[in-house]
């Protein structure tokens, strides 16, 4: 049946800062330093694969190329979004991402990277780096050259349920002891500004990208405060965190039964807690924490029931 939810099998990425917390999402992770679950990805560096129905075994990229009607026949040379769950067992490097124009010129036609984070869980006292304190480009360059990281970097305490919008050009880093769901443009371009002088398994310092970082960093730094808007539909509370040119991101807090309608070209849904059922045209699909499903174009009316938290995104 063409008009059914498509469940995806994620792929996993080993990272120097990763850990084992992704097992709490019912995943068999490949190593004890598994940092990233790419839940919805059509990027050449790793593609998620359909687990059910007539498209079982097909990658998201192939669906986009050969079955564009599932996405409302929207234009574009690549699937626009990438959804990840990250386990930051250690601090991530301090980094910044380019915008579309810079990435197209300097990164072989890659997209830029605006992203956002939902804090699924974190340790007491966990923090992120979000922005910087330099007022001019000259001051930014001077503080980087002198290694004045404590004065330069803006640190923010976090708690579960927090949400941060991270436009391209924002210096940022996820702190140790944090699990986040990240919605981003379909890009794998990252410029490292600082990596705490960490060495890889071979004893080498990891590569930094200082020149490009300075070029793309917004100065002075802007911190985009989100103003969540919440509405109740039957037994689900829908909180909209961000609506930007690249994506809209919502949290669906399901406490009972709710009837919703999928009217977008497509909607991506990740289950970050609990379990439940999706009922569509008389068929029932079970879901639980760690599942990821795509609701295709013209999916129409469906019901959710159970107790679960889901993060949904669409264009």
User: Can you give 150-202 as a three-state secondary structure string?
Assistant: HHHEEEEECCCCCEEEECCCCCEEECCCEEEEEEEECCCCCEEEECCCCECCC
Active-site pick, 2, 154, 192, 206:
192
d(CA 136, CA 280): 54
**Known catalytic membership, residue 2:** no
**Among candidate residues 79, 89, 70, 67, the one with its CA nearest the CA of residue 17:** 89
Tokens, residue 136: 């001019």
Residue 158, phi then psi, degrees to nearest 5: -130, 165
Alpha carbons 177 and 124: distance in angstroms, whole number: 9
SS3 93: coil
Residue 152 CA neighbour count, 13 Å, CB half: 22
Report the alpha-carbon distance of residue 268 to residue 314 in Å, rounded: 6
Q: How far apart are CA 281 and CA 41, in angstroms?
A: 28
For residue 38, what are its two tokens?
């790419």
Which residues belong to the active site? 192
């Amino acid at each position: 049946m063409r008009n059914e939810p498509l469940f995806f099998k994620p792929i996993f990425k080993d990272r120097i800062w990763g850990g084992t917390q992704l097992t709490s999402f019912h995943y068999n992770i490949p190593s004890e330093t598994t940092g990233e679950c790419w839940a919805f990805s059509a990027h050449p560096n790793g593609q998620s694969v359909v687990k059910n129905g007539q498209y079982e075994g097909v990658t998201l990229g192939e669906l986009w190329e050969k079955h564009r009607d599932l996405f409302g026949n929207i234009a574009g040379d690549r699937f626009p979004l990438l959804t990840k769950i990250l386990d930051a067992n250690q601090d991530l490097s301090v980094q910044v991402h380019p915008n579309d124009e810079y990435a197209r010129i300097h990164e072989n036609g890659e997209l830029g990277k605006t992203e956002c984070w939902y804090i699924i869980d974190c340790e007491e006292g966990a923090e992120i780096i979000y922005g910087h304190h330099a007022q001019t480009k000259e001051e930014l360059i001077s503080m980087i050259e002198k290694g004045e990281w404590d004065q330069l970097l803006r640190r923010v305490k976090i708690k579960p349920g927090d949400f941060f919008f991270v436009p391209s050009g924002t210096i940022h880093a996820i702190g140790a002891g944090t699990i986040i769901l990240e919605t981003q443009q379909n890009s794998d371009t990252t410029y490292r500004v600082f990596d705490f002088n960490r060495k890889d398994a071979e004893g080498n310092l990891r590569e930094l990208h200082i020149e490009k970082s300075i070029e793309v960093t917004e100065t002075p730094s802007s911190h985009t405060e989100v103003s969540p808007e919440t509405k109740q539909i039957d037994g689900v509370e829908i909180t909209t965190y961000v609506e930007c040119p690249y994506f809209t991101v919502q949290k669906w807090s399901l406490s009972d039964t709710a009837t919703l309608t999928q009217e977008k070209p497509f909607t991506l849904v990740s289950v970050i807690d609990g379990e439940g059922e999706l009922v569509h045209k008389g068929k029932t699909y079970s879901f639980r924490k760690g599942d990821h499903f795509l609701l295709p174009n013209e999916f129409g009316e469906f019901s959710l029931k159970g107790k679960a938290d889901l993060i949904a995104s669409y264009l």
